[in-house]
């Protein structure tokens, strides 16, 4: 069990963000910074231990309300 605790100290918390593809590297940098800042401030997490992983999916692979995003009308 000691090893699990040590891994947890190194790699926790882990935040996974799933979103449609298309954000720039600068946008993802800002999102990662803001998520990290929130966890440091609100949860007392150590900045260097916070991992933010982005999972980008295509509109063909993402559905909301039972409808693929590619089939939805653009937001007005």
Q: What is the pLDDT of residues 12-36, one digit of tens each?
A: 799 999 999 999 999 999 999 999 9
Give the per-residue pLDDT at 52.
98
Task: Check if 74 is active-site.
Answer: no
Q: Which domains, ranges and CATH numbers included, belong to the chain?
A: 2-71 (3.30.429.10)
Assigned token pair, 8: 């947890």
Helix (H, G, I), strand (E, B) or coil at 23: coil
pTM of the model: 0.77
**pLDDT for the residue numbered 1:** 45
**pLDDT at residue number 74:** 81
pLDDT at 2 over 60: no
Query: In this structure, what are the phi and psi dihedrals at residue 22, rounded to the nearest 5 degrees?
Result: 130, -10
Summarised one tens digit per residue, pLDDT across range 33-58 is 999 999 999 999 999 999 999 999 99
Secondary structure element (H or E) that encloses residue 72, with its range: none
Among the options 10, 13, 24, 43, which is catalytic? 13
CB-based contact 63:54 (threshold 8 Å): no
**Are the C-beta atoms of 60 and 20 separated by less than 8 Å?**
no
């Amino acid at each position: 069990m000691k090893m699990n605790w040590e891994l947890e100290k190194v790699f926790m918390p882990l935040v996974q963000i799933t979103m449609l593809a298309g954000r720039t590297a600068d946008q993802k940098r800002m999102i990662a910074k803001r998520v990290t800042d929130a966890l440091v401030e609100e949860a007392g997490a150590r900045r260097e231990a916070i991992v933010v992983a982005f999972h980008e999916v295509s509109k063909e692979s993402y559905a909301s309300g039972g409808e693929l995003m590619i089939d939805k009308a653009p937001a007005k």
